[in-house]
Chains A and B, each alone.
Chain A
Amino acid sequence: MTPPAVLVVGAGPAGLSAAHELARSGVGPVVVAERESAAGGVPRHCDHTGFGLQDLRRPLSGPAYARLLARRAEGAGARILLRTTVADVDQDGAVTLIGPDGITTVRPRAVLLATGARERPRAARLVPGDRPAGVFTTGQLQQWVLLRDLPVGRRAVVVGAEHVAYSAVLTLRRAGVATVAMVTDLPRHQTVPVFATVTRVGLRVPLRTSSRVVGLHGTGRLEAVDVEDLVTGGVDRLEADTVVFTGDWVPDHDLARRSGVALDRSTRGPRTDVAGRTTRPGVLAAGNLVHPGETAGLAALAGRETARRLATTWSDRPDSPSPGAASGLAVGVSGALRSVVPALVDPADPPHRLLLRTGTFGPGRLVVARQGGAVVGSHRLRHATPHRSLSVPGTLVAAADPAAGPLELSLI
């Protein structure tokens, strides 16, 4: 294989968008390693529309969006290797690839990790009870139904009430499964009002707020789900043969961690700067690996921005050096805010946007950036909803002093 200038790990929206941008910029050979048998990532099995609005300015179904991103990357000259697992990124920069044709080693000048995120499964949520069949995450369910046409069940409980939970309800409906309840531990849903209303009124799916699943029953197949009302303490047993655990995204950071990349405590993804550089020189990261649970479009835009910054650096340097380690002013969160990406910023060259997450509705919608107690910027959000993408312009941090202490963002 021609030694790639950049090896992109993962052909999801972030990886494909980065590969497209890099290949277009003429940085040299761009190779995308994808462990699945088709490129596109999670949108491949999301059969609803709305994909592409943020990055391509047109609405597409998930599978169509996945195909288009792959076609664009290949059209620009990137090479996508399917059924190819990136096993290791060694300390000396050698990358081991495993596929049906064997085990090969490549030495790219940069590795871009875009391995995405997955939903936390039942066990990791510590939901007690039996271990019956019929327990899904949305990703598993959607592959089950849309890629493999496997039978699901008849009556489902959906855990979660963010966007992806509503997507799960639609997939279940398509598979002929009635959703008997949605369950969220928060006081209200976390999606756009129209989805919530259509599902509750149109599809007659009741939403149990301030509630959580406290037990599964069934020795072979799932038979019932215990749902506790967090306000009253009462427990209802709902008959169901299927339960779908949605959302609660965790980065697929295994390769990143094993490659020696430091993780951010709040996102559990790699700590990156505006250029997508990690704590390990030569290794970049972008997309849902860095900030899990974003839309495909935001992941794609993050991949594109990382690629643009790398291409710009290299266009100034004919020797195209391996990227250095992440650097910049540390940004943290306090109060209701749970995370911010990127973790390191340069006030003189701020990112296009900062991505935030909040743990509660409110208290307010004003994001304030402070440095040493002094306010250096603020931005009013349209909403402050848990489990939703919150985006603020990177200019929020432009007035910070790069030589002073860390920045802290809060929501008031």
Chain B
Amino acid sequence: MIAADRHGYDVAVVGAGVVGCAIARRLTLDGASVVVLDRAPDVGDGTSKANTAILHTGFDTVPGTLESRLVARGHRLLADYAESTGIAVERTGALLVAWDDEQEAALPGLLARAEANGYGDALLVDAAEVRRGEPHLGPGARAGLLVPGEWVVDPWSVSLAFATEAVTAGAELRLSTPVTGVDRSGGGHEVRVPGGVIRARWLVNAAGLGADLVDRMLDRADFTVTPRRGQLLVFDKAARTLLTHILLPVPTERSKGVLVSPTTWGNVLLGPTAEDLDDRTDTATTTAGLELLLGAGGRILPALVDEEVTAAYAGLRAATEHRDYQIRCHPDLAYVTVGGIRSTGLTASPAIAEHVAGLLSDAGARWEGVPVAPTPPTMPPLGENQVRPMRDPVRIASDPDYGTALCHCEQVSRGEVRDACRSLVPATGLGGVRRRTRAMNGRCQGFWCGAEVVATVAEETGTDPAVLTRTTA
């Protein structure tokens, strides 16, 4: 028996992705005792870690949907949260570029849709304005729609900040803890995990790609998850000067298209593909996928494909048969499902958390503790436009480790890697160190720093290097 006590927790949240962490934070601040369970060794280690990192306005969502409402609200909440925690955001704006008649004809409809979604700042622009705004675009740009509120955010720090604040407020985070079954017991749940059960009065299913599987454990079948793979290419920082805005495709009946976007780390992202799969674990890139991206990227921004590729990866979005988010409360089961959270989920996550807290309250859930004031954590400055420790004389004077470079391409100091291994939600492996510090994420991919980073992380975490290098997690 590994439950905290006989009565267990108010809420067990299954899934420590950005949505699960946001919910855990919200409920803990509301006074609930919360446990968060995830099979992965780190927070934000599934769908949340491989997305396009856009802070969406929701201008192109379907008006009237839950997604439309939560994305719009989430944009405000997350922008404020990023501001208070120091998570990098770049207010780039987005430009939808029309390359043919069909796409050009679709622009006024998209403007109307933005307005129907309550977003009033979108603006149609002509070919000359498009060219002026983005002089490196390939030939043939006909017109555009400017969406100034679409920004880019550091996606990894968001899950981490929510988790850190939740843990600070008293939530318990149990990673590497897969849920194998759920039994009803009295009015609550016994959640089966390796080595025992965890008791909780309420269960929140934020299991992302596994959300329908958890749903089945409660004999529900609200939806089925179809993994949709998105392959992405990250280009060298030298490409960052090629664009100002997030360059979005104009969606048409025939194709959704790919985007080219700056990242807060100073790189350029190209993607994603959209491939429906059966395998919930297949995050492989493919020759066809990468060729498709390079072809599209070369048409949008020809000089981009002359630059080096820094990383290629694929993420799986938790698509369902429904067009909208699937967030449902089942008061009789003391259960909330949070499914079908698509790529907009990063932006919507704090609004989803509010919404779930409201559903629980409406269902009569009451927490044992008292509400506590938010204590947003201060996150490391990872943005290219922020003052990194190696550029901060005060930090270096306070601790020479902040002036000792470990990863040269990304200018990550030894002090930052050390901090990542010792933080409240610490990195336990190399993937966690990458996401918390950027170390080894640069153009050399470890040619210069790999051995030293591994040796440092092994020492800081007390982990055998052979274990550290058994997985990329």
Give A contacts to B, CB under 8 Å: 35-36, 83, 85, 87, 98-103, 118-124, 126, 128-134, 136-137, 139-140, 143-144, 147-148, 150-151, 214-215, 217, 219-221, 250, 252, 254, 257
A28 to B238: give the CA distance in the assembly, Å: 35
On whether the beta carbons of B447 and A118 are closer than 8 Å, the reply is: yes
A119 to B472: give the CA distance in the assembly, Å: 21
Q: Which residues of B contact A221 (CB under 8 A)?
A: 469-471
A83 to B310: give the CA distance in the assembly, Å: 25
Task: Tell me which of B171-179, B285-293, B328-336 binds A.
Answer: B285-293
Q: Which of B441-473 contact A (CB under 8 A)?
A: 443-448, 450-452, 454-455, 465-466, 469-473
Q: Which residues of B contact A151 (CB under 8 A)?
A: 465-466, 469
Please name 17 pairs of A and B residues whose Cβ atoms are closer than 8 Å in the assembled complex, sorted by A: A98-B391, A98-B396, A98-B405, A99-B403, A100-B396, A118-B444, A118-B447, A123-B445, A124-B309, A124-B445, A129-B285, A132-B472, A134-B469, A143-B450, A151-B465, A220-B473, A254-B237
Given that A98-B390, A123-B312, A128-B287 are contacting pairs, would A148 and B469 also be in contact in the complex, using a CB cutoff of 8 Å? no
Q: Which 3 A-B pairs have the closest CB atoms?
A: A100-B400, A121-B445, A143-B451
Kindly identify which residue among A120, A128, A147, A252 contacts B285, using a CB–CB cutoff of 8 Å. A128
B397 within 8 A of A: yes
Q: Which residues of A contact B450 (CB under 8 A)?
A: 136, 140, 143-144
A101 to B234: give the CA distance in the assembly, Å: 34
Kindly identify which residue among B286, B310, B411, B470 contacts A123, using a CB–CB cutoff of 8 Å. B310
On whether the beta carbons of B390 and A140 are closer than 8 Å, the reply is: no
Q: Which residues of A contact B470 (CB under 8 A)?
A: 133, 220-221
B105 within 8 A of A: no
Kindly identify which residue among A131, A214, A252 contacts B287, using a CB–CB cutoff of 8 Å. A214
B308 within 8 A of A: yes
Q: Counting chain B CB atoms within 10 Å of each CB, which of A99, A126, A136 scores highest?
A: A126
On whether the beta carbons of A83 and B405 are closer than 8 Å, the reply is: yes
**Closest residue on chain A to residue B397 by CB atoms:** A102
A137 to B409: give the CA distance in the assembly, Å: 16
A140 to B443: give the CA distance in the assembly, Å: 13
Q: Which residues of A contact B310 (CB under 8 A)?
A: 123-124
Q: Which residues of A contact B119 (CB under 8 A)?
A: none
Q: Which residues of B contact A124 (CB under 8 A)?
A: 308-310, 443, 445
A254 to B444: give the CA distance in the assembly, Å: 11
Q: Which residues of A contact B326 (CB under 8 A)?
A: none
On whether the beta carbons of A254 and B443 are closer than 8 Å, the reply is: yes
Kindly identify which residue among A101, A128, A147 contacts B312, using a CB–CB cutoff of 8 Å. A128
Q: How many Å from the CB of B433 to the closest CB on chain A? A: 13
Kindly identify which residue among A87, A140, A250 contacts B446, using a CB–CB cutoff of 8 Å. A140
On whether the beta carbons of A140 and B391 are closer than 8 Å, the reply is: no
A329 to B148: give the CA distance in the assembly, Å: 49
Q: Which residues of A contact B81 (CB under 8 A)?
A: none
On whether the beta carbons of A129 and B284 are closer than 8 Å, the reply is: yes
On whether the beta carbons of A133 and B403 are closer than 8 Å, the reply is: no
Q: Which residues of B contact A87 (CB under 8 A)?
A: 390-391, 411
B393 within 8 A of A: yes
**Closest residue on chain B to residue A132 by CB atoms:** B472
B283 within 8 A of A: yes
On whether the beta carbons of B312 and A126 are closer than 8 Å, the reply is: yes
A273 to B313: give the CA distance in the assembly, Å: 40
On whether the beta carbons of B238 and A120 are closer than 8 Å, the reply is: no
Q: Which residues of B contact A101 (CB under 8 A)?
A: 396, 400, 403
Given that A85-B411, A123-B445, A151-B465 are contacting pairs, would A131 and B283 also be in contact in the complex, using a CB cutoff of 8 Å? yes
Q: Which residues of A contact B285 (CB under 8 A)?
A: 128-129
Q: Which residues of A contact B242 (CB under 8 A)?
A: none
